[in-house]
Amino acid sequence: MPIEGGGQPELPYLDVAFDRRDTEAVVGTIAARPAEAPFAYVVTPNVDHLIRLHGDKRDERLAKAYARAATRLCDSRVLARLAALQGIHLPVTPGSDLTARLLQDVVKPGDRIAIVGGDVETLALLRDRLPGVEIVQHIPPMGMRTNVTAMAEAAAFVAQARARFTFLAVGSPQQEYLALTIAERGDATGIALCIGASIDFLTGRAVRAPRWMQKAGIEWAHRLASEPKRLWRRYLVEGPRIFRIAWQARNRG
């Protein structure tokens, strides 16, 4: 069973064709997909991702990964509000929410899931949280995005795992590159989700912003305050570029 929009036209915004369904509809469709179905993957674009698709340094590999994805879900309330200025209603399905829903409400004892990323503690915490679920993990080396051998090994692990769900938790754009590599093999099954740090939020290893900050579209400020040395450039230098990109798109439209 495909996970595309069920015949509904997609919502194009900033060169990405977004799924128009809400979270409940997406979860229901993913849940109904057989474990043995041919491999497909879900991406959840946010501001940082879309910036990489524009300008002189456009990431063509990421663009290809997005185009190959079975569906693209808007992960950002900032993007949704910018799109609304052009009369485009983008339903917001944060990747962290989607991951939590699948692991809490959909995955059941007897299922097999695969994790690419994290560490040994990640695996232990998930096994405690999901008794009866078979969980396998692959921890790739740092710098996998430029390591052809490491990328191929991670893709082979997913193909051999034959998991119902695969969670790619190695950060963007590395996880999208990996999803594309797996799809191009042609022999994997199940569905993969590019999830970043979502499992860390679920297991309590990282603290997500309060709900009011999420709804206000300022979750990025909480993350910046939590990891300023790592994230200051993303949010304070690169992130604001989205407003110029959106303004240019609005003028063209």
Q: What is the pLDDT of residues 210-246, one digit of tens each?
A: 778 777 778 777 677 878 888 778 778 788 899 999 9
**Sequence ranges of the domains in the chain:** 18-252
Residue 123, judged by CB atoms within 10 A of its CB (0-12, 13-18, 19+), counts as middle
pTM: 0.91
Q: Could you say which DSSP state residue 15 is in?
A: T
CA 36 to chain centre: 21
Contact 76, 47 (CB under 8 A): yes
What confidence tier does 93 reach under pLDDT thresholds 50, 70, 90?
very high
Above 60 in pLDDT, residue 1? no
Identity of the residue numbered 143: G
pLDDT tens digits, one per residue of 130-159: 999 999 999 999 999 999 999 999 999 999
